[in-house]
Amino acid sequence: MPACGGERARARYAALGKVIDPRTGTELDQALVTCFPSPHSYTGEDVAEISLHGSAVIIHAVLGILCECGARLAEPGEFTMRAFLRGKMDLAQAEAVRDTIEAFTLYQAQVAGRQRSGALSSELQPLKRSLLDIIVQLETAVEFEDDGLVLDSRAVTAEKLVSLVRELDRWVGSYRYGRIVREGFSLAVIGRPNVGKSSVFNALLEQDRSIVTESPGTTRDLVTEEISIRGIPVRLIDTAGVGPAADEAERLGVERSYTAIAEADAILLVVDSSRARSAGDEALRDKIADLRFIVVFNKCDLKPAWSAGEKAAYAAGMPWLDVSALTGERIDELRGAILTCLFGGSRPRSEGILVTNLRHLRCLEAAREAVVRGGAALRSGVSEEYVLVELHESLARLGEITGETNVQDILDEIFSRFCIGK
């Protein structure tokens, strides 16, 4: 096999060779070897990639030979960690590698791909630059107050800090959507027996997963499936019909339905619009009155027994929609209504500010609180030194997102702006 750096190995060119067991001289496989000399590799180190045929036996044998020759198996995430430590990517990009691998939908992969390419770090820069400018102004006021330098007034600086808080609020607010993009959400389909819950479940799933019959109580246990709605992963749960139980199995099914209702991120309350409104419909709606739900009036292909006014009154301010699970009518509109219910119609664009990582959120929240404290200290009239403690804390917390250190940045900025030391 050609060796990386040898006469027959060219950088970033695939070379075909034979894999020979040095212990026996036996040919194990043909392989493609690609060499990536430092620093032009994923980790920034000298790297050789060996592409073997898809045989677990061959792969295991080659790994064993390499380990006998002095190599070792990489730890989980080691290549990406090496890339971070050698400056090939920042911490946010490294975390996005994992998100890309774990993506369930194409949309998730696209969001993770943008962050892996450095979009999150790039979008943070204006925010950090604004904070750095304020720190430079205050540092200069403390160290060179007698030099007659023209600096922003306290009122102007305080207003800049207010603007920073508003910007940080936007970042923090995006996590509500970003978390769901990254982790998905659970959606429980509930209703009285025989209203078509399982039919709605199957229509959203676009396959017959739940058994559907004319007999009430067909679904006696939870049925779950993973689907995607507009690129958002969803754990869809078909529950047992909620109503008086005829036997122990139905009673247990109803109990599990209530558990699923309590744990779900969103609820579809399915009602049979071809049957007159009943006390059972009212009772079930009242049980979930404090939760987030959409009323789905199923069987709109049949003669309606509800007027539009009755439907609106029953929904009591919650969104509602007529659908036919049998014909598929308005099922796609229902998918859009589900996302609107979750996000309040304010779904951010994937190419805009989007925080998907809980660690990033905590850093942003801590940075925001430090700026708020700094602004309060500035308005109270205390020395700039007290304000600077909070702003340095905020800058450090923003730096934690990407793994940066910022002390040298501040010094460089001060010396470049003011000809100190002349």
Distances (CA, A) of 415 to 140, 141, 163, 411: 10, 14, 26, 6
| β partners of residue 50 | 33
Compute the C-alpha angle 193/196/197, nearest 5°: 80
Q: Which of 265, 239, 273 is nearest to 253 (CA)?
A: 239
Residue 136, SS3 per DSSP: helix
pLDDT at 194: 83
Say how far apart CA 48 and CA 45 lie, in whole Å: 10
Q: Which of 378, 294, 301, 399 is nearest to 340 (CA)?
A: 294
Average pLDDT over residues 168-194: 90
Cβ partners under 8 Å of residue 189, min gap 6? 197, 198, 200, 201, 204, 236, 237, 238, 239, 268, 270
Say how far apart CA 257 and CA 238 lie, in whole Å: 9
Say how far apart CA 48 and CA 39 lie, in whole Å: 13
pLDDT at 4: 47
Q: Which of 25, 184, 27, 46 is nearest to 102 (CA)?
A: 184
**Residue scoring higher pLDDT (211 or 338):** 338
Average pLDDT over residues 283-302: 91
Q: Which tokens sit at 420?
A: 């100190």
Distances (CA, A) of 24 to 20, 21, 289, 403: 8, 6, 74, 48
pLDDT at residue 127 above 50?
yes
Distances (CA, A) of 278 to 197, 243, 272, 306: 17, 12, 10, 11
Q: Which tokens sit at 307?
A: 């007027």
Average pLDDT over residues 170-190: 90
Give the amino acid at 19. V
* Residue reference for tokens 């049980």: 287
Domains (ranges, CATH) in the chain?
A: 14-75 (3.30.1360.120), 84-114 (no CATH), 119-174+353-417 (1.20.120.430), 184-343 (3.40.50.300)
- Rounded to two decimals, the pTM is 0.76
Band (79; pLDDT cuts 50, 70, 90): confident
Band (3; pLDDT cuts 50, 70, 90): very low
Dihedral sign computed on CA atoms, order 98, 235, 291, 246: negative
pLDDT in tens, 220-275: 457 889 889 988 999 999 887 675 554 555 566 677 777 878 888 889 999 999 99
Distances (CA, A) of 309 to 277, 313, 406: 12, 6, 61
Band (415; pLDDT cuts 50, 70, 90): very low
pLDDT at 354: 85
**Mean pLDDT for all residues in the chain:** 83
